[in-house]
């Protein structure tokens, strides 16, 4: 691993301390690998501060093989527990943002701003649901004039491309949200600019995103204006998390304490949108980052609200292996076939992320229904694995030895390389051939597992907060996987921090067992709370590349819902892609069509295209920029007119809305020729 040194001004610097104190300046060092350009040399460039200090500090790559060298610096107050980052107070009217105040929840109206009565009614519904702030879009001066009538409640303004309008409504509102790149003295011209490959890649660097934000912040600071908040949203939760962490790390370096607004932009609708938002927002809240949040769902604004909660703690440990500036997945060693094994175990986990489900004895009474609920294909009543079939099941109780039908159903699952995991006590009393056996650390330490036949596959359950002495037993066994299994209601320790500790132990000891996040939810949990809990607790780890799959249990929740939520979680963390990805804006006063109805129509006809991403955007303000990851785009270009995109390129303009969905479908089909990614497009409904 490459290292380096850089001058800095540190306070209280301690060797091998993962929570270093920092002074007001730090040099970032970037090592650019130029092997693609014939020289084959490595170039070192410095982003220098104006006040370098005399001390030297060791640098490390932001991730394995990354050209970005960073100090082992802090991006949050603690990696051992959730401690809220200290930020200054920023006033929005009489609502205070900052670490000394509750995390503020906000959303945005979808009404036409000129419709004063409709907008006021929507704002009141939002307020009744508990929001602290509400945003209203203002496209022009007529909307700006309407705002003076609307302000019967605290409101926040949303401005694009119109500085004169922003200055007008500044007299009315308490807060204005601007995209600095759109805030110019004249209307944006959207000139076509030519970039070299190096220029383009540089624009994509996370450090460049942060530097862009800092450029405008420095202007504010130069004018002694400090009443502002940073927002670094993205529609990809992984990128969103990395960008915020790097932003905060640089703020620690500079000694800045400005608040953060968190959100996954254009998250979509329904469970998909909630899951993406929970992954991005929840991960950062677990790190103690964030002072105000907004959930961008393609739904009525009052349904977009989400509340933040506090998190428990854990004994300190040294964190050396997680790269929080850049995504790099820790890939556990997938099972390999061993000599003498009667069945194929290579399919019990999936290379892109595994889904495990808990199955009951009652479900075994109807084998075909069980196979379907596991998303297996049926051929003459026999199950076969498909794209989104469950990889392994947990069976807490085995059927009696004489129950031939139930045992035949389990054998058929094992024969298609679906893992069947059973507790040690069950396997010892009612053995199931070729089952994998669940053991805990105590059973390992007492040697109880040695009562099993030699070669039995083991699945180990661990909490992550055990004394390291108890975890030492993992060095002496060959586990097919580990279940990180901390009770959801545990109040002594945070699941995320306990898992990080477990991964540190595994990395320190070169143990590459796959780790499955096992979350057992309490009875009567609401579906939205389950989605948010899964995204926040498991997503916060998977988004850092920590983990190989998910097992969700909730006693009174529908089996299909839990399975779909599990696959949604993996896809939201950019792991296993099993369905079409949608990027859709939440709708606002700029929206030029009924976004919810159109979104539902497009989803109905295209939901079976895994690997394809489709953006559905209400207007050109958010369209071209925030759908950058999409393969195809459906964007409101003018009232009643739709523009269609392939990637970032407009291919059809001004299509009448009545035929726009069919035109999008045809566009996907036209671009599917010869494409493996879109090979199913000819079956579009």
User: Does one domain contain both 565 and 675?
Assistant: no
Structure tokens at 279: 């992954």
Rounded-to-integer distance, Cα 549 and Cα 459, Å: 14
Report the predicted TM-score, pTM, of the whole model to 2 decimal places.
0.76
18 pLDDT higher than 70: no
Find the CATH number of the domain harbouring 256: 3.20.20.20
Rounded-to-integer distance, Cα 21 and Cα 430, Å: 57
pLDDT at 236: 84
**C-beta of residue 263 within 8 angstroms of C-beta of residue 291:** no
152 pLDDT higher than 90: no
Q: What percent of the chain has pLDDT over 90?
A: 38
pLDDT at 588: 61
pLDDT at 195: 60
User: Does one domain contain both 17 and 140?
Assistant: no
Helix axes 206-222, 237-254, angle to 10 degrees: 50
Task: Decide if 396 is inside a domain.
Answer: yes
377 or 215: which leads in pLDDT: 377
Final residue of a structural domain among 303, 318, 342: 303
3-state secondary structure (DSSP) of residue 531? helix
pLDDT at 349: 97
pLDDT at 434: 97
Q: How many domains are contained in the chain? A: 4
396 or 195: which leads in pLDDT: 396
672 or 548: which leads in pLDDT: 548
pLDDT at 212: 79
pLDDT at 469: 94
User: Does one domain contain both 442 and 518?
Assistant: yes
Find the CATH number of the domain harbouring 380: 3.20.20.70
Helix H segments across 287-403? 367-373
Model confidence pLDDT, tens digit, residues 426-437: 999 999 999 999
Task: For 72-190, list the strands marked E by DSSP.
Answer: 90-92, 95-97, 104-108, 133-137, 156-159, 175-178
User: Does one domain contain both 194 and 100?
Assistant: yes
Kindly state the average pLDDT of the residues 571-586: 86
425 pLDDT higher than 90: yes
Q: Say how many C-beta atoms besides its own lie within 10 A of residue 176's C-beta.
A: 19
195 or 285: which leads in pLDDT: 285
* Contact residues for 204 (Cβ-Cβ < 8 A; gap 6+): none
Task: For 34-73, list the strands marked E by DSSP.
Answer: 42-47, 55-61, 68-71
pLDDT at 141: 77
SS3 per residue for 95-107:
EEECCCCCCEEEE
**C-beta of residue 139 within 8 angstroms of C-beta of residue 315:** no
User: Does one domain contain both 179 and 288?
Assistant: yes
Q: What percent of the chain has pLDDT over 70?
A: 70
Tell me the pLDDT band of 491, cut-offs 50, 70 and 90. low
652 pLDDT higher than 50: yes
Structure tokens at 174: 């308490």
Task: Specify the range with the lowest mean pLDDT, choosing from 12-21, 204-213, 557-566, 590-599.
Answer: 12-21
Structural domain of 217: 90-303
User: Does one domain contain both 111 and 152?
Assistant: yes
Closest CA to 412 of 450, 374, 362: 374
User: Does one domain contain both 26 and 130?
Assistant: no
**C-beta of residue 647 within 8 angstroms of C-beta of residue 657:** no
User: Does one domain contain both 653 and 601?
Assistant: yes
Task: Decide if 314 is inside a domain.
Answer: no
Tell me the HSE value of 191 on the side-chain side, using a 13 A CA sphere: 4
Task: Specify the range with the lowest mean pLDDT, choosing from 11-25, 101-115, 448-462.
Answer: 11-25
User: Does one domain contain both 42 and 136?
Assistant: no
6 pLDDT higher than 60: no
User: Does one domain contain both 202 and 99?
Assistant: yes
Handedness of CA 616, 619, 624, 625 (dihedral sign): negative
Task: Decide if 312 is inside a domain.
Answer: no
Task: Specify the range with the lowest mean pLDDT, choosing from 440-454, 591-605, 640-654.
Answer: 591-605
Which DSSP letter does residue 613 get?
Answer: E
User: Does one domain contain both 94 and 242?
Assistant: yes
Kindly state the average pLDDT of the residues 46-59: 41
Task: Decide if 662 is inside a domain.
Answer: yes
User: Does one domain contain both 362 and 267?
Assistant: no
Q: Which helix (H) or strand (E) holds 446?
A: helix 441-446
Tracing tokens 């009545």 back to the chain, one arrives at: 658
Task: Decide if 508 is inside a domain.
Answer: yes
Task: Decide if 59 is inside a domain.
Answer: yes
């Amino acid at each position: 691993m490459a290292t380096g040194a850089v001058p800095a001004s540190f306070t209280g610097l301690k060797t091998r301390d993962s929570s270093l104190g920092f002074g007001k300046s730090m040099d970032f060092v970037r090592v650019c690998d130029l092997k693609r350009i014939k020289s084959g040399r490595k170039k070192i460039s410095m982003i220098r501060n104006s006040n370098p200090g005399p001390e030297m500090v060791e640098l490390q790559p932001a991730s394995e093989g990354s050209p970005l060298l960073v100090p082992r610096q802090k991006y949050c107050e603690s990696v051992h527990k959730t401690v809220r980052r200290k930020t200054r107070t920023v006033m929005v009217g009489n609502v205070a943002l900052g670490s000394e105040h509750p995390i503020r929840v906000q959303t945005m109206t979808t009404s036409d701003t000129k419709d004063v009565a409709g907008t006021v009614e929507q704002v009141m519904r939002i307020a009744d649901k508990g929001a602290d702030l509400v945003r209203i879009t203002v496209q022009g001066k007529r909307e700006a004039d309407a705002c003076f009538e609307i302000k019967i409640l605290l409101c926040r303004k949303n401005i694009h491309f119109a500085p004169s309008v922003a200055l007008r409504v500044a007299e009315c509102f308490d807060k204005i949200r601007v995209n600095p790149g759109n805030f110019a003295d004249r209307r944006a011209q959207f000139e076509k600019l030519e970039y070299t490959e190096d220029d383009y890649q540089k624009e994509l660097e996370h450090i460049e995103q942060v530097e862009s934000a800092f450029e405008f912040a420095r202007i504010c600071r130069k004018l002694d204006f400090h009443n502002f908040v940073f927002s670094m949203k993205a529609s990809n939760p992984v990128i969103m998390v990395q960008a915020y962490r790097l932003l905060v790390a640089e703020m620690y370096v500079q000694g800045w304490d400005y608040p953060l607004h968190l959100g996954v932009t254009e998250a979509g609708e329904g469970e998909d949108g909630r899951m993406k938002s929970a992954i991005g927002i929840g991960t950062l809240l677990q790190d103690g980052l964030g002072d105000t949040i907004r959930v961008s769902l393609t739904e009525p604004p009052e349904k977009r609200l989400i509340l933040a909660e506090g998190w428990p703690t854990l004994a300190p440990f040294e964190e050396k292996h997680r790269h929080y500036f850049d995504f790099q997945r820790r890939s556990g060693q997938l099972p390999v076939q061993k000599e003498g094994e009667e069945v194929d175990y290579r399919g019990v986990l999936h290379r892109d992320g595994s889904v495990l489900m808990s199955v009951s004895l009652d479900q075994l009474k109807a084998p075909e229904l069980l196979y379907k609920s596991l998303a297996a294909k049926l051929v003459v009543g026999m199950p076969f694995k498909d794209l989104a079939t469950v990889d392994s099941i947990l069976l807490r109780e085995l059927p009696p030895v004489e129950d031939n039908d139930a045992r035949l159903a389990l054998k058929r699952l094992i024969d298609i390389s679906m893992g069947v995991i059973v507790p040690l006590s069950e396997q010892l009393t009612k053995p199931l051939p070729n089952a994998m056996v669940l053991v805990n650390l105590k059973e390992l330490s007492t040697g109880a597992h040695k009562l099993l036949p030699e070669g039995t596959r083991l699945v180990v359950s661990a909490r992550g907060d055990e004394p390291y002495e108890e975890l030492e037993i993992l060095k002496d066994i060959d586990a097919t996987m580990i279940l990180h299994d901390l009770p959801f209601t545990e109040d002594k320790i945070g699941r995320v921090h306990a898992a990080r500790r477990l991964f540190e132990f595994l990395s320190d000891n070169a143990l590459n067992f796959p780790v499955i996040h096992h979350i057992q939810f309490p009875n009567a949990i609401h579906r939205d709370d389950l989605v948010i809990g899964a995204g926040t607790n498991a997503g916060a780890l998977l988004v850092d590349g920590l983990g190989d799959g998910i097992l969700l249990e909730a006693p009174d929740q529908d089996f299909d819902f839990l399975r779909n939520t599990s696959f949604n979680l993996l896809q939201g963390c950019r792991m296993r892609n099993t369905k079409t990805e949608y990027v859709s804006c939440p709708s606002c006063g700029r929206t030029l069509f009924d976004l919810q109805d159109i979104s539902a129509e497009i989803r109905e006809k295209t939901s079976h295209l895994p690997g394809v991403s489709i953006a559905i955007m209400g207007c050109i303000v958010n369209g071209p920029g925030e759908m950058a990851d999409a393969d195809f785009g459906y964007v409101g270009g003018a009232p009643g007119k739709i523009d269609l995109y392939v990637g970032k390129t407009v291919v059809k303009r001004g299509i009448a809305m009545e035929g726009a969905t069919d035109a999008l479908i045809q566009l996907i089909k036209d671009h599917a020729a010869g494409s493996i990614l879109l090979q199913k497009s000819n079956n579009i409904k």
